[in-house]
């Protein structure tokens, strides 16, 4: 799989290929079922956070119907309504296969037209929501590589599954992935992270992985139970940690210990769209 000059020039790839740690953010567009006033307020919160984060030279991944919840389309607002305070080159929309193929092709074309430089293409959770239009994210990336050859495309890996298999998803010559996001991990699941990094090293891969870090705001049993339907949650360990540590300290601990394993590039999820930058700043102060 070759990479074009336009893809190589993408800011996200330059940052991911540079040595040293990198912290990025994952944010969610507003839910689709909000009333007009609430939707407008939610978009304004997101707009402000995107402006503050990108002005700090940070990268932001924007989800696509995260955990099965119907979200507004990121391009519907971000691609057309943000002002010069938001650097679109630092925003990476996420697109799952859980749409029609026509929609996915249109989404990618519009992303390139608006000035985005990269797009993360995932399969999407098969247990909720619509069916996938193609079997795997790799299949959609292959289609989009022809449609939008200038966009850098990202894939997906899961450190909680077989390391060799997961490494193969992004190192194969036909993966069409210049980088990959990982399923959320924590300092309680470092063995899987180490195994994946070892498998990638054995393969000789240069594909950078951005490891997911979830910002758990509390050890509320109902919340953790709901989250566990969509991602691996170390419920007992978190409950014990929250007895003596803040949410920011626990998140910072994960980032520190991931770095100690060699996983230096991370994205922090669940910061919320209002004041995401201030929450992130408190986390990084504790790293």
Nearest to 88 by CA among 58, 116, 120, 53: 116
Determine the Cα–Cα distance for residues 50 and 33; give it in Å rounded to an integer.
22
For the chain, give the mean pLDDT: 91
CA distance 235 to 249: 17
CB 178 within 8 A of CB 152: yes
**Do the beta carbons of residue 284 and residue 53 sit within 8 Å?**
no
pLDDT digits 0-9 by tens, 103-123 = 999 999 999 998 999 999 999
- Work out the average pLDDT over 36-41: 85
pLDDT digits (tens, 9 = 90+) for 256-266: 999 999 999 99
Phi, psi of 87 (to 5 degrees): -90, 105
Question: What's residue 104's pLDDT?
Answer: 95
Give the C-alpha separation, 130 to 100, whole Å.
Answer: 9
Given a cut of 70, whether residue 248 has pLDDT beyond it is yes
Which of 3-12, 61-70, 80-89 has the lowest average pLDDT? 3-12
Q: What is the pTM of this model?
A: 0.93
pLDDT band of 78, cuts 50, 70, 90: confident
What's the pLDDT tens digit per position in 121-139?
999 888 777 899 999 999 9
Q: What is the mean pLDDT of residues 51-71?
A: 84
pLDDT (0 to 100) of residue 20: 96
Predicted pLDDT of residue 6:
56
Q: What is the pLDDT of residues 163-173, one digit of tens each?
A: 999 999 999 99
Q: What is the pLDDT of residue 67?
A: 59
Q: Give mean pLDDT, residues 159-184.
A: 95
272 has pLDDT over 80: yes
Mean pLDDT of 140-167: 96
Q: pLDDT class for 3, splitting at 50, 70, 90?
A: low
Burial 138-150 (b: 16+ CB within 10 A, else e): bbbbbbbbeebee
Contact predicate 59/23, CB 8 Å: no
CATH architecture of 5-286: Alpha-Beta Barrel (3.20)
All structural domains of the chain with their residue ranges: 5-286
pLDDT of residue 233: 95
Write down the number of H helices and E strands in the chain. Answer: 12, 8
């Amino acid at each position: 799989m070759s990479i074009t000059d336009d893809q190589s020039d993408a800011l996200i790839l330059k940052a991911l290929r540079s040595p040293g740690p990198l912290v990025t953010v994952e944010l969610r567009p507003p839910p689709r079922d909000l009333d007009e006033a609430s939707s407008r307020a939610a978009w304004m919160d997101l707009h402000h956070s995107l402006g503050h984060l990108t002005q700090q030279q940070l990268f932001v991944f924007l989800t696509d119907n995260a955990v099965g919840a119907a979200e507004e389309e990121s391009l519907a607002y971000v691609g057309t309504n943000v002002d010069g305070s938001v650097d679109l080159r630092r925003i990476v929309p996420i697109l799952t296969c859980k749409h029609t193929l026509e929609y996915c092709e249109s989404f990618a074309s519009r992303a390139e037209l608006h000035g985005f430089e990269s797009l993360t293409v995932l399969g999407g959770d098969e247990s909720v929501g619509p069916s996938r239009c193609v079997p795997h994210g790799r299949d959609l990336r292959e289609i989009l590589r022809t449609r939008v050859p200038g966009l850098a495309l990202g894939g997906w890996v899961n450190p909680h599954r077989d390391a060799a298999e997961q490494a193969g998803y992004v190192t194969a010559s036909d993966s069409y992935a210049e980088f990959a996001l990982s399923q959320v991990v924590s300092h309680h699941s470092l063995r899987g992270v180490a195994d994946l990094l070892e498998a990638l090293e054995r393969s000789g891969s240069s594909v950078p992985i951005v490891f997911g870090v979830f910002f758990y705001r509390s050890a509320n049993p109902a919340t953790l139970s709901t989250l566990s339907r969509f991602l691996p949650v170390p419920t007992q360990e978190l409950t014990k940690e929250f007895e003596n540590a803040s949410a920011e300290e626990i998140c910072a601990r994960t980032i520190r210990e991931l770095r100690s394993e060699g996983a230096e590039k991370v994205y922090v999820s669940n910061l919320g769209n209002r004041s995401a930058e201030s929450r992130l700043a408190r986390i990084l102060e504790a790293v």
